[in-house]
């Protein structure tokens, strides 16, 4: 498999604090790779290193098949990005900001700025000064600027920031279109697991500066742990009966919810056996692990 981004034993230290430790990331070409992790996990740090905004303490980043050197600007011409909150010339309007970006990127395709605004739902706001934009409009403008020059690689730090549900769907559809029609590679960070599950091909899970796991969503589906979720007003009685029935792998998640991972009988038989022992059943349903389940289990084990 061809990787557009690779890192080798990548470390970043600021003072006494380790922000990243021996991170080895592999971003496949033409795919959407989502970096998951809580605030402070190191997501933005990794993206700053990929964009050559910071110098690694040790290790290296490889972009487009070549090592990234300090001060090397050539790869940036093939990329579009958002890091944290996008900044603009406040007294210029949205269209002028994008045209200025085209000029200093040396990108002169007629109508490109207008097209990018339309893609992000800002066509009617192109002549409005950016100082009057809402947070959501600024985020859309930042995304329009990132995709403006038809980059080979998009590096997007929390691209859904400040967007409503309609805006998130629009961005999700746009990124999928870019991958399909342009062959764009997307490297994004997010804490919105349900959004990531709908768009990503591969996820990497960062926790306390370490990359715990990289896995494709197709692999995750194949490995998905199937379980039965029992909702009952009497968890203690349910747990006692499950043990008597020989069920060993179950977990009480919260008040009234028991997750059963393995049972010596079919779900229908188990439900009937619980009822015969006078366990009140509000709900008894079979589920498969979500990305959130996998993420929480992995980071929970690490904790």
Sequence-distant (≥ 6) Cβ neighbours of residue 16 within 8 angstroms: none
DSSP 129: B
The model's pTM is: 0.84
8 Å CB contact between 22 and 59: yes
The pLDDT value recorded for residue 226 is: 84
DSSP characters for 36-89?
E--TTSSHHHHHHHHTTSS--SEEEEEETTEEPPTT--GGGGGEEEE-SS----
Q: What is the residue whose two structure tokens read 């009685």?
A: 237
Ramachandran quadrant class, 204 (left: phi over 0; alpha: psi -120 to 50; beta: rest): beta
Domain 225-302 matching CATH 3.90.45.10: the answer reads no
The pLDDT value recorded for residue 303 is: 52
DSSP 101: H
8 Å CB contact between 188 and 79: no
3-state secondary structure of 207: strand
The pLDDT value recorded for residue 245 is: 94
Nearest partner of 186 among 198, 175, 177, 197, judged by Cα: 175
Backbone angles phi, psi at 64, to 5 degrees: 55, 35
8 Å CB contact between 188 and 34: yes
8 Å CB contact between 33 and 6: no
3-state secondary structure of 181: helix
8 Å CB contact between 202 and 33: yes
Per-10-residue mean pLDDT, the chain, length 303: 95 96 98 95 97 97 96 92 95 98 94 96 97 97 97 96 93 94 96 92 97 95 86 94 93 89 89 94 89 89 55
Angle at 119 between CA 113 and CA 121, to 5 degrees: 105
8 Å CB contact between 204 and 294: no
The pLDDT value recorded for residue 291 is: 92
Domain extents in the chain? 3-222, 225-302
Domain 3-222 matching CATH 3.40.50.300: the answer reads yes
């Amino acid at each position: 498999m061809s990787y557009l981004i690779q890192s080798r034993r990548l470390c970043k230290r600021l003072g006494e604090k380790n922000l990243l430790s021996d991170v080895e990331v592999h971003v496949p070409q033409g795919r959407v790779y989502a970096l998951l992790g809580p605030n402070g996990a190191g997501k933005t740090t990794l993206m700053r290193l990929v964009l050559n905004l910071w110098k690694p303490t040790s290790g290296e980043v490889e972009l487009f098949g070549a090592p990234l050197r300090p001060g090397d600007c050539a790869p940036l011409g093939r990329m579009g990005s958002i890091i944290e909150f996008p900044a603009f010339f406040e007294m210029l309007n949205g269209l002028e900001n994008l045209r200025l970006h085209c000029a200093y990127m040396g990108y002169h395709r007629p109508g490109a700025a207008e097209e990018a605004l339309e893609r992000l739902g800002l066509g009617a706001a192109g002549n409005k000064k950016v100082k009057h934009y809402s947070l959501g409009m600024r985020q859309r403008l930042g995304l329009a600027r990132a995709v403006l020059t038809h980059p080979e690689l998009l590096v997007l730090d929390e691209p859904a920031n400040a967007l409503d549900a309609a805006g998130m769907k629009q961005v999700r559809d746009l990124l999928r279109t870019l991958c399909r029609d342009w062959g764009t590679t997307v490297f994004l960070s997010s804490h919105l697991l349900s959004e990531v599950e709908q768009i990503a091909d591969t996820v990497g899970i960062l926790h306390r500066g370490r990359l715990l796991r990289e896995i494709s969503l197709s692999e995750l589906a194949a490995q998905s742990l199937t379980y039965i979720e029992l909702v009952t007003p009497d968890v203690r009685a349910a747990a006692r009966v499950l043990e008597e029935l020989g069920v060993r792998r179950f977990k009480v998640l919260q008040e009234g919810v028991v997750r059963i991972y393995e049972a010596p009988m079919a779900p229908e038989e188990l439900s009937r056996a619980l009822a015969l022992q006078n366990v009140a059943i509000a709900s008894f349903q079979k589920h498969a692990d979500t990305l959130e389940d996998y993420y929480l289990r992995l980071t929970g084990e690490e904790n």
